[in-house]
Amino acid sequence: MRSGNHSLLPSSRRATQKLRLLVSPTAASCSIKASTAAKMKALISICIGITIFLIAARAASALAALAFHRLHHRPTASFFPASPSIPRKAYTVLINTWKRNDLLQKSVIHYSKCAGVNSIHIVWSEPNRPSDLLYEVLREAVHSNSIRGNNIELIFDLNQEDSLNNRFKEVKDLKSDAIFSIDDDVIFPCKSVDFAFSVWKSAPETMVGFVPRMHWLDNSNSSLDRYFYGGWWSVWWTGTYSMVLSKAAFFHKKYLHLYSTNMFQSIRNYATKNRNCEDIAMAFLIANETGAPPIWVKGRIFEMGSSGISSLGNHEERRTQCLNDFTAIYGRMPLVASNVKAIDSRSSWLW
């Protein structure tokens, strides 16, 4: 009998078989854990390897681009005549303000720290002149924040008339070709502004800015070419734009002269009367001169105020009316749509 034979086994052999039965499941479990740990280590090693490869590839690409630039970059003829001084090495900050001295002070202090700035002009349209105290506070801030020994000029451009056209009034004797037009309640990091300046230098005939908008053809009325104003969400959804607003944009100083002397008087009157759309007027002017779209630059915006024109009711309806009225005056739609977006790849992995 088998049972009898099993019972006749020596006690030491039976103990060994029992021990094997007890040990076998534990050994299997340990084997599984060891296998899982090995797989995890392999996966982690692969992830680390891919990360190192991506970093090395990015570094190699950057070095190759730098080498190519040094080997092949040569000065090229400009669309615009060069100024006698430092026309493309620096830019002028043109700040539009209205009875918000606290915001103006923050804006001046911030932009005086940017490396590319050589002068700050404040468009002053208030009935009273700026106080001596305000001027001294701003002058001291500019002086203390100027870097690399750069002596930044601070100038108030005083205007007798309260008009939105004042922000585009020609400024005489500017040392730089580039104008960075900015509202007093908007802050962009200096790194973003300097990058936008570098983009503008590659295309100085067009407008380069941070706040895109779009004109859309109104298909509800097929008998007439009518347009409606597309705000930020329409740009975000479609990736298409035809304007960058002058609340944060670079353009050539030449356009201040053209706006002051060649802009349709009816459009200038429109902006003064309605206190709106001077930025659309400038977008029309530049597009009409160049036949080219603006360039949208990615940048993080910090808005310090909310009492501007855009906060008023029926804002987009009023802007739509501007588009169609200006198109009628020009006799055509000069704005050109684009899907191009400039991104500083040095500080962004997703581009």
**How far is Cα 183 from Cα 194, in angstroms, rounded to an integer?**
17
The H or E element containing residue 229 is strand 227-230
Q: Is residue 326 packed enough to be buried (19+ CB in 10 Å), middle (13-18) or exposed (0-12)?
A: buried
For 67-193, strand residue ranges (E) read: 91-97, 117-124, 153-158, 178-183, 186-187
271, 180 Cβ separation under 8 angstroms? no
**How far is Cα 197 from Cα 201, in angstroms, rounded to an integer?**
6
**Pairing between strand 208-209 and 248-252?**
antiparallel
Q: Is 344 a catalytic residue?
A: no
**How far is Cα 339 from Cα 212, in angstroms, rounded to an integer?**
11
Q: Which two tokens stand for residue 196?
A: 């936008």
Single out the catalytic residue among 173, 279, 325, 344: 279
Give CA 23 to chain center in angstroms. Answer: 67
Closest-CA residue to 309 (of 167, 209, 138): 167
Residue type at 281? A
| Catalytic center residues | 279
